[in-house]
Amino acid sequence: MLTTLAPRQNARQWAFFALLFIPIFGLMFVLGVFVGRSSDPVFPLVLTAAIIATIASIVVLGLDFRMGIYLILLLTLWDRLQTFGEQGKISGTKIAIGITIIFLTAAILADQLKGWSRKLGDPLIILGVLYLIVSLIGVPFMPHPELSAEFLRRRLNVVALMAILILAVSDREVFHRCVLCLVISGTLVACATVSEALTGKSLLERLGKSIPEDQLNTLGSFKGALRIIGPSGGPTFHSLAQSLPGTLAFGLLLYYRQWWKKALLVLCLAVITFNILGTGSRGGALGFAVAGLLVFMTCPVRHRFIKATVAALIVFAGLTAIAAMDINVAADRIANPTEATSTIDLRIAMWKMALNMWVDHPLIGVGTNGWGIYYNIYRLPNAPSAYLRIHNAFMQMLAENGLQGVLVYVGFYVVAAFGAFSAALGTMDRRLKFEATAIAATTFGFFVFAGTSNVLENELYFIVFGLCGAAYHVYRRECLTRSVPEEDRLALQPRLAAIARLERQQRARYEQNP
């Protein structure tokens, strides 16, 4: 609890909150409407009111500061729907991160977050600092260093997000709520997208935030009715936003024993799988399949054959439903080897361009976001004439930040997976075992996806890294409480000696009086 109210202090707390916070958030609302050029002020007003209510409840009622974490996880999956204005100048996720940092600092100063200083030495946080340093090294040597500012700011945001999760998730119940928050939020996003196929109008259109000229938000399936929402707005990233809650839902499905919970999770997985297939993202579908298979093979579950058959039927049902709605479906893109081959040839050409950039700049690379600056200089004949992102996070890191950048970025996956799998193998808590396995398996699925797209600044990746680190620290806390410290063992010796004397006395009395 951040605050403890004494009698008759409630009114004073509310007065303090009104005088201090309401003008600040009123200014935020004005910025959201005018600077963000929002065509409809209703959504900025609702989001601002929600943020005010969240902070008011924390300050006045003394609610747990971790409410900010759940808000961040929710808003990240609804990325395109919680920005102020068509251009997304002000993001609700970033506001939630700032709020959480403030109250996290307050909790630390009030000594309400035990062991936070030890977590600062977490290898993932150290890698995050190195990630920022590596990203900064080559920027001063770029022809246009100002073009790196946006990417550096986004990398700072995602590293801060990862550190918040590692510091704030202190026990298994908070970790469990984070997992549930992602599963529920991802399912709601999936349901909203499916509803667009039925109504013919997207949520972005209803909010006045869709851009007709931007075809990234529209797919040819569902008779053109499906508009993709989720981080970065593109179909592939929507599939990424669904694969994380989908994998976690699969882990919970294997864990729960009550039939009604299993039925709800099967329904969630059906909707999520339907959405992943509907995007037509081969990388997203492959990443989800890899993560799900790893969860299935590593979790201690019974009747694997039956459960594998159920999972296959869910996928088949999703493909059937998509095919029933439209002949030219996005799912055909997953199964079309000709198109896949042509796409691979195009990407291999860009990977060769990235390798040439690194050969010419082996020490520090061409600088963060330097790929776009040097694209036309290094373009190969079979690469597109128009600028196109590299579609491989590792090759992008090699070209822009050198070999040390690739090592740091790969280090996130290695350290995160090692920590989460260590927790899954060592914990005595059955629920934590399944959840840690699911989040660790997600790192493998995301690793596959990173080889097909540029995700260096994607929030969902660093949420996964942060949750992996949090799972390891929850497990370490369990180990500390499970083992008896040396001083406690020494303190038990006099008690054991007294018990032994009492036992000898009772035996002697029994022998004397049989």
Report the distance separating Cα 132 and Cα 405, nearest Å: 10
Q: What is the pLDDT of residue 388?
A: 81
For 207-227, what is the HEC assignment? CCCCCCCCHHHECCCHHHCCE
Report the distance separating Cα 228 and Cα 409, nearest Å: 28
The one-digit pLDDT tens for each residue of the chain (514 residues) are 334 444 455 566 556 556 655 665 666 566 555 544 555 566 566 666 666 666 666 555 555 667 778 878 887 887 766 555 444 455 667 777 877 887 788 778 777 787 888 899 999 999 999 999 999 998 998 888 888 998 998 899 899 999 999 999 988 999 999 999 899 988 888 877 766 555 555 555 555 555 544 444 444 333 334 444 445 455 666 777 888 999 999 999 888 888 898 899 988 888 888 777 776 677 778 888 889 888 888 887 776 676 667 767 766 676 666 556 554 445 555 555 455 555 677 888 888 999 999 999 988 899 999 998 898 899 888 777 777 888 899 999 999 999 999 999 999 999 999 999 999 999 988 899 999 999 999 999 999 999 888 889 888 999 999 999 999 999 998 888 765 444 444 445 566 667 777 777 777 776 666 5
Report the distance separating Cα 230 and Cα 221, nearest Å: 18
- Reading the block at residue 125, the tokens are 């946080």
Instruction: Give the E-state strand segments of 349-503 in sequence order.
Output: none
- Reading the block at residue 70, the tokens are 């759940």
List, in sequence order, every residue forming a beta bridge with 218; answer none if it has no partner.
227
Q: What are phi and psi of 202, to 5 degrees?
A: -80, 160
Q: What is the pLDDT of residue 55?
A: 61
Of 235, 226, 181, 182, the closest CA to residue 204 belongs to 226
Q: Which single residue is written with the structure tokens 């579908």? A: 285
- Reading the block at residue 29, the tokens are 């609302």
Positive/negative CA dihedral, 31, 35, 36, 39 = positive
How many other C-beta atoms lie within 10 A of the C-beta of residue 107? 20
Report the distance separating Cα 241 and Cα 433, nearest Å: 23
Burial of 62 (0-12, 13-18, 19+ CB in 10 A): middle
Whether the predicted model's global pTM rises above the 0.75 cut: yes
Report the distance separating Cα 285 and Cα 276, nearest Å: 6
Helix (H) / strand (E) element for 468: namely helix 459-482
Helix (H) / strand (E) element for 350: namely helix 337-360
Report the distance separating Cα 92 and Cα 157, nearest Å: 13
Of 185, 158, 195, the closest CA to residue 409 belongs to 158
Q: What are phi and psi of 91, to 5 degrees?
A: -110, 135
Instruction: Give the E-state strand segments of 175-252 in sequence order.
Output: none
First to last CA, the chain: 60
- Reading the block at residue 76, the tokens are 């990240």
Of 473, 471, 467, 475, the closest CA to residue 165 belongs to 467
| 3-class DSSP state of 230 | coil
Question: Could you say which DSSP state residue 83 is in?
Answer: E
List, in sequence order, every residue forming a beta bridge with 83; answer none if it has no partner.
91
Q: Write the Ramachandran bin of 224: left for phi over 0, alpha for psi from -120 to 50, otherwise beta.
A: left
| 3-class DSSP state of 513 | coil
Report the distance separating Cα 455 and Cα 394, nearest Å: 9
